[in-house]
Structure 1
Amino acid sequence: MSELVFKHFEFARRYFLKNVDALDESILDIQPEGFNNTLHWHIGHVLTVAEQFMFGFPNKSNHLPANYVELFGDGTKPADWQGEVPSVSELSEQLKEQLKRIKEIPAENLNERLAKPFLGQETFGELANFALFHESLHLGQIQAMKRVIETAK
């Protein structure tokens, strides 16, 4: 079972990155009507939340800049961005590097119980599965936003 989780992570992330890499740079920061964020935000959000779920960012992981929580954390939006914001190209590289680190997590860690349940998840493995669900959810948003933006052009 544990090998399946890591295989699924690789599959989902590679598909996510394939979609990200295919995005036209000119549409990355457009926020279409009816959507709360931009493509750029969704990409950074997936990276940041996966780092939070899988590595305890920002308290237990220093692989991402601390300000990513303010830029891409839950409840944030590009309209509130201040200071330097990483490019989508930089985020894409960080997503690739993060996948390598995820695949290095010992399989036995998936059985560890969380100190307290989080979003209904009781083990690290359940949280990892939730991270996969979360990434897929945002990929759907990215695909929908891309269509809306391209249709409006």
Structure 2
Amino acid sequence: MFNFKRDKSITASLPQDQMLHGIKVKKLPLGQYIKALHAIENLPEIMLKELFPGMKPDQVLDKLKAIDEDTVYQLVSRLLRVVPEQFLRLVAELIDTEFEHLQDNLTPKELLEVLRAFWAVNDMTDFFVQIKMMMGGWKANPLAALKLGSKK
């Protein structure tokens, strides 16, 4: 008699948690996302401190101006050590798990599987598209933002 349509937004917002390689892959709460963005923001500073321990920014620039072959080899070897570790720390922060668990228990393939599952659960493509559209609307017409939410 009645033929009700299913509201896709309800099922889209339901958590799709799963366990994968000992890690609970779950929807990312907004606070965790913001925390990860702050970690990314601090990444250049962390990298410079790791690559040039004990040096001030002006000293780093001087060193880079007078770079020689030995310095290049030192930097590359440090980068090969530091970048994967910092990336893994960022991933641990993002997926809310222990860095040591990722480092000690997962293979690169398993880490990739976890990251793919995490992306599937937390795909924010539509969110960013909507924000971009809103920002474009705000630039063209500041009152457009007020009208987006209303269905009058």
TM-score by length of 1: 0.29
- Larger gyration radius, structure 1 or structure 2: 2
- Pick 1 or 2: higher relative contact order, CA cutoff 8 A, min separation 6: 1
Higher helix share: 2
TM-score by length of 2: 0.29
